[in-house]
């Protein structure tokens, strides 16, 4: 596998993190440089780390994990998205921007990184070393997550309300996309 193919795989893996980061950019109260890194770095670290974990697991239980990874991602994103929709609908006022906490970012990071674990698993089955791909996957995800946060911040300036509802719907749709891709394609 050449570097070009690895970069394409990394870009594909980072798309879910990009979408979640746009939502976070929409809903985050204040996006400072430090906050940008606090929101983007867990996405990048999770992608790279789960690729490595998948690679090690691929040596032992590849078929077992592949059967339910999409359900884990779907459930995590549906819970987070459902809570955002519920919070948005429970207020008569526009959904306020809010601080995004560690638990939420952690769950988003894991949910959007399940596919990276499958890629790591696949690389193990192909007897391909994991260090270089994990670095490329993590770095690409960091870049796309930062871009998503900034895009969400810019979009948020032009929307007057319902950030949480829109974000929740997007997260649930990402979960459905992951589930459909794994079940039917």
| SS3 sequence of the chain | CCHHHHHHHHHHHHHHHHHHHHHHHHHECCCCHHHHHHHHHHHHHHHHHHHHHHHHHHCCCHHHHHCCHHHHHHHHHHHHHHHHHHHHHHCCCCCCCECCCHHHHHHHHHHHHHHHHHHHHHHHHCCCCCHHHHHHHHHHHHHHHHHHHHHHHHHHHHCCCCHHHHHHHHHHHHHHHHHHHHHHC
Rounded mean pLDDT, 71-92: 76
Side-chain-facing half-sphere of 28: CA atoms under 13 Å: 30
pTM of this prediction exceeds 0.85: no
Q: Tell me the two tokens of residue 6.
A: 């690895």
pLDDT of amino acid 91:
61
For the segment 127-153, the average pLDDT, to the nearest whole number, is 94
The average pLDDT across 19-46 equals: 91
CB 123 within 8 A of CB 133: yes
Of 49-53, 110-114, 160-164, give the lowest mean pLDDT range.
Answer: 160-164
Taking the CB of residue 161, how many other CB atoms lie within 10 A of it? 13
- Lowest-pLDDT range of 39-48, 109-118, 151-160, 174-183: 151-160
Where does the pLDDT of residue 160 fall: very low under 50, low under 70, confident under 90, or very high at 90 and above?
A: very low
- The pLDDT value recorded for residue 85 is 81
| pLDDT for position 56 | 92
Provide mean pLDDT across the span 88-92.
68
Q: Which residues are registered as beta bridge partners of 28?
A: 98
Alpha-carbon distance 174 to 131, whole Å?
28
Cα 162 off chain centre by: 21
**Residue indicated by tokens 């893996």:** 13
Provide the pLDDT for residue 89: 78
- Among residues of the chain, what percentage have pLDDT more than 70? 87
């Amino acid at each position: 596998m050449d570097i070009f193919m690895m970069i394409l795989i990394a870009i594909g893996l980072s798309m879910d993190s990009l979408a979640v980061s746009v939502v976070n950019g929409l809903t985050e109260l204040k996006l400072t440089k430090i906050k940008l890194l606090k929101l983007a770095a867990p996405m990048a670290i999770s992608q790279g780390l789960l690729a490595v974990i998948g690679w090690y697991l691929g040596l032992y239980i590849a078929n077992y994990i592949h059967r339910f990874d999409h359900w884990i991602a779907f459930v995590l994103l549906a819970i987070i998205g459902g809570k955002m929709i519920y919070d948005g609908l429970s207020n008569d006022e526009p959904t306020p921007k809010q601080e995004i906490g560690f638990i939420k970012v952690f769950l988003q990071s894991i949910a959007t990184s399940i596919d990276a674990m499958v890629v790591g698993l696949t690389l193990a089955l192909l007897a391909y070393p994991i260090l270089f791909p994990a670095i490329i996957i993590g770095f690409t995800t960091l870049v796309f997550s930062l871009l998503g946060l900034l895009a969400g911040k810019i979009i948020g300036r032009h929307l007057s309300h319902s950030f949480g509802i829109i974000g929740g719907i997007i997260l649930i749709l990402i979960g459905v996309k992951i589930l459909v891709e794994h079940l039917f394609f």
